[in-house]
Chain A
Amino acid sequence: MVEVLAATDKIIDAHGTDREALVEILREVNDEGGHLTKEHLQRIAERTNLPLSEVYSVASFYTMISLEPLGRHVIRLCQDAPCHVAGGREVWEAIEQELGVPFGKTTLDGQWSLLTTSCIGACAVGPVMMVDDDIFGNLTPDKVREIIARYRQDDLARGDAQGGAA
């Protein structure tokens, strides 16, 4: 925990403790550990001299700041109209089927989190999803199964995972 908070302190030092830095600090601490814990929030509140409730209020407002742990890989499927019209519903179902959990959840082995995202501005190649930081477009049920399989294989090759939920 000390180490975790040391990283948090470093981010706060970089941004300063002015009120206007709060959103940036929260997002960066979130990106570092995948989500924010109560300890993170407390430390940020202390350092920025804001009430914990205020820090929590801002953290919970923004969707890219998570207050719960996420999986090793995060799939963010675009749920907006252009992707929906282009066949997003079938892709949505294929992903849920392939990973065995509904959107909004993380697989039991902690390998995959399924989230939706608002438009990522790649509408011309919809349906679109992001796996971690990479964008994949023109998705079909077959193509998402292929992509997931490729990630599982890569993880296995690195020998640091079980390859996701059965």
Chain B
Amino acid sequence: MAYRAHIVVSGVSAETLEVKSALLEKLAALGLNEEIEVREASGVTAGGRGVEAVVYPDATHYANLTPEDAALIAEEHLFKGRPVESLIFEGLTVEPLPEPATKEVRVVLRNVGKIDPGEIDDYIAEDGYAALGRALTEMTPNDVLEVVKTSGLRGRGGAGFPTWLKWSFAQKASGTPKYVVCNGDEGDPGAFMNRRVLEGDPHAVIEGMALAAYAIGASQGYFYVRAEYPIAIRTLRLAIEQARNYGLLGDNIFGTDFSFDLEVRMGAGAFVCGEETALMQSIEGKRGQPRTRPPFPAASGLWGKPTNINNVETYANVPQILLKGGEWFASMGTEKSKGTKTFAIAGKVKRTGLIEVPLGITLREIIFDVGGGILNDKAYKAVQTGGPMGGCIPEKYLDMPVDYESLASVGSIMGSGGFVVMDEETCMVDIARFFMEFVQEESCGKCVPCRVGTANMLTVLNRICEGEGRPGDIETLEELGKQVIAGSLCGLGKGAPGPVLSTIEHFRDEYEAHIYEKTCPAGVCRALIEYKVDPETCIGCTRCARNCPVNAIAGAPREAHVIDPEICIRCGICEQVCPVDAISHA
């Protein structure tokens, strides 16, 4: 059926469906349901702008929608032909922002938010499966490998190993059958790029895997997706079924000798399963614990057979590289880091969400131009890149280009591409403690230095944050950090001390303030801060005293109030409710 217009609704929260049904209801009431098609896509910006809707053919982009807004759009824009200016995205942001995100280049995300992931025809209309068709009918497996080599594509799971090299190891390995595995166990806090790709453009990943399978000589593939991503799993299963129905998966694809099929395996909640050897243990139905390497998966992977394992984003790049050529991909990025990379920006920036930019762009461009700068115009303090094992990068490196090598040179990692931005109100010791808590909990326990060492580091960090830090604690942390790195098998243990060591390196003064002066410069660690009423500003409205959960505030109406630090639990409610900002903490 031909439609006059389409409206694509997207978002990540439960409100998305409410907006969609309000829209459908209103369109039906206006008698437009035959003329206008409502589609649901995966969030354009991963929810940073609430529920979004894009009206085609004019591509009007609405954001932060409520069900009432949706009804208004139906009536005004779709019925009367007048776009609702007040809801259009660019005019919507709370604060005026500098130039919009023009530095983005979309390769991996090119279809996300644009096509319906539940319709294989949508993907095919965007040149989908053309690369696979060409490879199978016009190219040898070695030709495919050669194009990927020219492109300079490196593993997007974080370590940055050259993709073609990994493939060639699996290709040359003896043993059959061979397997390809897609690592969709995106567990890094702050990283949601794989989720967006799987939910928004699943066929791109399937096609990338099929190309890898052709290159290495595999006929069976496994998708390993974490159970925390139920929508991604549903989308993927549907996509695989549609690809099978079209003969794009299964036997004799495109009438050639090449046969390939895929199965989805779900995790069950274990961060360490993102590590490739642990992931394969989990696919085999075991506890997901890493094992020693070598042998690498290319030689001995799933069930001891040669296995190629790549990240979702790595595979999603491959069809485009095959179609447009390795040179095209290599024309973007830096000398050693080619192409684009997705980054998930979260934390204290004005524009959070998912972006894709050429590698080599500076941190400053990402945070201040694309991300719009620090929320409420506070001062930048650090950005933590690469997930819970990444380091915190201070202001002096903001003009550094973002690539694998540069990030490593300042004690951080590319990782999966998470960016957690912190401002002056973030305590770096508290953040280090926070990440240590995370890795300590997620340590699988196999390597003693990781299991016990992280617990010891956490004990020391806890005591520093609680005001009981002792001289020598910083040195203890540094020593323990070295031992955990040296004595752990996998990336989790080897990376676990990263946040602590990098914050000690770049923000040592904050550690010292906690230990020697018993103060928390950012005003976060509760044992080290005190709430005070400024008697000059206080108007004696009694609101703070009435809201205090422990009755720590005394004072008669219309007279200055006083907080008793012995009773105060530092919950901060008084500071929030004070109408004249007379209460502060330090």
Contact = CB atoms under 8 A, between A and B. Distances in A.
Given A120-B228, A121-B186, A81 B431 contact: yes
Interface stretch (B93-101, B116-124, B170-178, B264-272): B264-272
B438 interface: yes
B430 to A, nearest CB: 9
B346 interface: yes
Interface in B467-509: none
Interface string B268-279: 111100000000
Contact of B13 (A64, A83, A84, A135): A135
A27 B268 contact: yes
Contacts of A85: 346-348, 420, 422, 426, 431
A104 to B, nearest CB: 12
B314 interface: no
Nearest to A63: B269
B187 interface: yes
A93 B571 contact: yes
Interface in B255-309: 265-271, 282-289
A123 B192 contact: yes
A149 to B, nearest CB: 15
A57 to B, nearest CB: 6
Contacts of B208: none
Interface string A126-166: 10000001111110000000000000000000000000000
B355 to A, nearest CB: 11
A80 B191 CA distance: 11
B154 interface: no
B319 interface: no
A83 B347 CA distance: 8
Contact of A137 (B13, B186, B189): B13
Interface in B193-239: 194-195, 227-230
A125 interface: yes
Contact of A21 (B270, B285, B344, B354): B285
Contacts of A65: 268-269
B285 A20 contact: yes
Interface in A1-32: 18-24, 26-27
Interface string A53-95: 0000110011111000000000000111111111000100100
Interface residues of B, number: 58
A80 B267 contact: no
A124 B285 contact: no
Given A82-B346, A125-B47, A126-B346, A119 B187 contact: yes
A122 B285 contact: no
B51 to A, nearest CB: 10
A118 interface: yes
A118 B192 contact: no
A126 B288 CA distance: 28
A81 B269 contact: no
B455 to A, nearest CB: 18
Nearest to B344: A123
Contact of B353 (A23, A61, A93, A124): A124
Contacts of B571: 93
A159 B192 CA distance: 39
Given A24-B266, A79-B438, A85-B426, 12 more contacts: A18-B285, A23-B267, A23-B282, A61-B270, A65-B269, A81-B189, A81-B347, A85-B422, A119-B192, A124-B45, A124-B192, A125-B47
Interface of A: 18-24, 26-27, 57-58, 61-65, 78-86, 90, 93, 117-126, 133-138
5 contacts: A21-B285, A85-B431, A118-B187, A122-B192, A124-B47
